Amino acid sequence: MYRPRRQPSLPAPDAEAEARPRRPKTREEQREALLAYAFRALGARAVTEAELRGKLERRSEDPELIEDVLRRVQELGYQNDAEVARAENKRRGVGGMRVRQTLRRRGVGAELIEETLQARDPEQEQQQATELLLRRWPALSRKRDPRASAYAFLARRGFGGNVIWPAIREVAELFPPDETEDEQGAGRGASPR
């Protein structure tokens, strides 16, 4: 029979310690604690200024202190929206529309988003869409309408129609449909229309 281990009992809290009021943190101590929190948040992943501001606002109600911490983190080079946008733009397997949507959701400014998308190489985006489709085509080709499924797949990844249709045409030429399968499928009890 399983018996859970007993937890060691904690000593009773000292009544005198509870009665003693804590000294409120000075402004400098608050700043240091908020700065340490900002560094921990930035250490987990690259965050935009808007994301970091939201995290800091949940920790402090002092807007001046938040602005001071944001300014300091940016001065030191730990937070940079342009770097976040550049990294998002380099992600493989996503189109320009997805990059735009993600950056907008993360609070990046419209001007920086447009700048980032202008730096995108259309030929590379076309190549990425074709490569994605090549990998997925065997599964997509078994669907009732493989071209519609391929279009939906790439559209969900953020590619535009001007990229999707050429990729579909290119991949469909490499993998023509099997006519023998179509004839066999029609002969297996399928009624002619």
The answer to whether residue 153 is domain-embedded is yes
Mind listing the pLDDT tens digit for each residue in 2-50? 666 776 666 656 655 566 678 778 888 889 999 999 999 999 888 999 9
Whether 131 and 169 share a structural domain: yes
Residue 124 has pLDDT above 70, yes or no: yes
What digits encode the pLDDT tens for the residues 135-182?
999 999 899 999 999 999 999 999 999 999 999 999 988 887 764 344
Residue 10 lies in a domain: no
Task: For residue 69, give the 3-state DSSP assignment.
Answer: helix
Residue 155 resides in a domain: yes
Residue 149 main-chain phi, psi, to 5 deg: -65, -40
Domain count, the chain: 3
C-alpha distance across the termini of the chain, in Å: 69
Distances (CA, A) of 180 to 81, 115, 135, 157, 191: 55, 50, 24, 33, 17
Residue 57's domain comprises 28-79
Residues 127, 172: one domain?
yes
Q: How high is the pLDDT of residue 22?
A: 80
Q: Which of 154, 11, 57, 178 is nearest to 96 (CA)?
A: 154
Q: Is residue 11 part of a domain?
A: no
Which tens digit of pLDDT belongs to each residue from 91-123? 989 999 999 999 999 999 999 999 999 999 999
Q: Which of 160, 82, 142, 69 is nearest to 114 (CA)?
A: 82
Do 114 and 127 lie in one domain? The reply is no
Is residue 106 domain-resident?
yes
